[in-house]
Structure 1
């Protein structure tokens, strides 16, 4: 590992591309670890010794089995193999989708990877108040239609998806007239030009990061987390078709928006079965997604949540205030 570059290995759990509303997994987790290859291999061997498996590639699913509960607690605990060498960025998919919607409502046809404070405030209001104001069923239908209309490849006629979205927008009426959600309803009905412009931008530039995929922003957050005030960060990442050279370049250019002094040196794809560092990142990402998802659903495991908490990125994209207070290192 060059002294001029800080190298981290990353993997994710819960990825479903741009499918956010009604997705199988409510949480996307992206983990980064900093180890040399030999050191990582030794730590994987130690985990295997505690929770044996004959498979070549050791995955999070092995330590998430109930019979391996003690190993999971050790892996996440202060005497475990990850302490001081790992972090995980969590994305609550529903809130991420609503944040993309908020950016479009504020007259920005391309809100980019990160939102300004005004858009974040609107996203929080939409997340917390949308269902109560418009009715849970109507709001859910609208968000599903928004997801379909903005996805780059949604398998449907794009114009039909946009038509369906704004037919639903026309029907949204807040239970209490006036107020913030009344103004939001007006913004929703007027947002068609921004949605159409966003789709046109993606058609004109295939290298543009998909608006609803949390992977690329998560990589930028990882670089910001490890690289602020340090050497440029080289990311070794499990193979992902979304990580084209052009998109990685966009991520690198976006990093200073998160951490002014952080820089991305590049990204190299690796086969996870051949790189023990990526396997360790997979273990943390998979465990974090399961623990955070259970906490979001109200069935959290207090002990596991406490063990995960020190690893969680303060910049995680999370809307639910109750579970955020439990998962976040700085509530």
Structure 2
């Protein structure tokens, strides 16, 4: 990873952040399968110059440039420049990737299994291989349950999910996946109070929206060596609802987060610039996840990607995150 930059006088580091692929707590069955959060430490005038350069090279008349401009095939050279060693991100940027299905599996095990696991990748891989679309359907049912907003909806979604879990466990009897799902099926809340308690847990520290923990990961990155971080972020409801105290608790770095300021991306060129990185990271990662990896773009993106991303590289694909000493992908939920 590139080391974070600090101001010469040791003042608070102000990072600009944006995301791509956000669909709130809907983690499966949406329009995107990857969530990417990017953060950037560059000066205002540098961001202005970079955006002006992109506008000229991409021949775009748009007042506000978005990631979709640099992702067009005809602007491939512009994207490679932005991600490359001569671009504005080199040494100044951080990306956290979230495979939404994998993240949801982690929450399923955490909320119904009684605790988080270090790596849910093998479980998700085996369940997908053994159960196919039945596994994806079970995940979707769990996602619906955890997003319920009324007691009536919660009861209905709980009936659907736990019935599906029983069926999946029986069909996979004798396998590790079958045993795991059978254990989850026994965690059915015994009454409305217990059901509401389960839903409340998903709105606390274990919030389903991947944006909140992704921002916490960015704070941890930029707070290395005792730095204090101030965040400028594109307006986002989930972050406002989470609150500064919750974000500080999730980051796990005492006092590291000085504050968060929400802006319209049109009013801060740094947020416009980091939007390029977030959008590119999501597209590159999604292609790699689905067996369409672009080796050149993956190589360019890799130095920015947090090794603690919620991610597992395909066994025969291009690596996007760092690997542990034993060769296993260093991804966590």
Question: Which interval holds the TM-score relative to the shorter structure?
Answer: 0.7 to 0.9
1:33 maps to which of 37, 40, 43: 40
Tell me the CA shift for residue 180 of structure 1. 2.6
Worse overlay, 229-238 or 7-16: 229-238
The separation in 2 between residues aligned to 1:235 and 1:155, in whole angstroms, is 37
Distance 1:183 1:293, change over 3 A: same
Structure 1 length as normaliser, TM-score? 0.87
1:19-44 Cα offsets, whole Å, 9 max, x none, are 11122111000000001222221222
The separation in 2 between residues aligned to 1:320 and 1:28, in whole angstroms, is 15
Does the 8 A contact of 1:131 with 1:140 survive in 2? yes
1:263 maps to which of 235, 252, 256: 256
Distance 1:8 1:305, change over 3 A: same
1:140 maps to which of 115, 136, 143: 136
Aligned to 2:159: 163
The separation in 1 between residues aligned to 2:92 and 2:126, in whole angstroms, is 38
Does the 8 A contact of 1:229 with 1:261 survive in 2? no
1:235-291 Cα offsets, whole Å, 9 max, x none, are 1100001122653320111212xxx57711111101101101101110000011111
Distance 1:95 1:195, change over 3 A: farther
Q: Does 1:15 align with 2:8?
A: no
Does the 8 A contact of 2:219 with 2:257 survive in 1? yes
Distance 1:159 1:56, change over 3 A: same
- 3-state SS of paired residue (1:193): coil
2:83 maps to which of 62, 65, 76: 76
Distance 1:148 1:128, change over 3 A: same
The separation in 2 between residues aligned to 1:296 and 1:239, in whole angstroms, is 28
Does the 8 A contact of 1:291 with 1:304 survive in 2? yes
Query: 5+ unaligned residues in a row in structure 1: which ranges?
Result: 109-114
Distance 1:196 1:72, change over 3 A: farther
- 3-state SS of paired residue (1:20): coil
Taking the TM superposition and a 5 Å limit, the aligned residue runs for 1:306-325 are 306-322=299-315
Tell me the CA shift for residue 179 of structure 1. 4.7
Aligned residue pairs total 317
Moved runs in structure 1, 4+ residues, more than 6 A?
194-198, 202-207
Distance 1:192 1:203, change over 3 A: closer
Tell me the CA shift for residue 157 of structure 1. 1.3
Q: Does 1:61 align with 2:68?
A: yes
- 3-state SS of paired residue (1:317): coil
Structure 2 length as normaliser, TM-score? 0.86
1:131 maps to which of 128, 132, 153: 128
The separation in 2 between residues aligned to 1:242 and 1:290, in whole angstroms, is 22
Aligned to 1:87: 94
The separation in 1 between residues aligned to 2:294 and 2:151, in whole angstroms, is 38
Query: 5+ unaligned residues in a row in structure 2: which ranges?
Result: 1-6, 324-328
- 3-state SS of paired residue (2:14): strand
Distance 1:29 1:196, change over 3 A: farther
Distance 1:313 1:154, change over 3 A: farther
Q: RMSD in angstroms over aligned alpha carbons?
A: 2.7
Tell me the CA shift for residue 120 of structure 1. 2.6
Tell me the CA shift for residue 6 of structure 1. 1.1
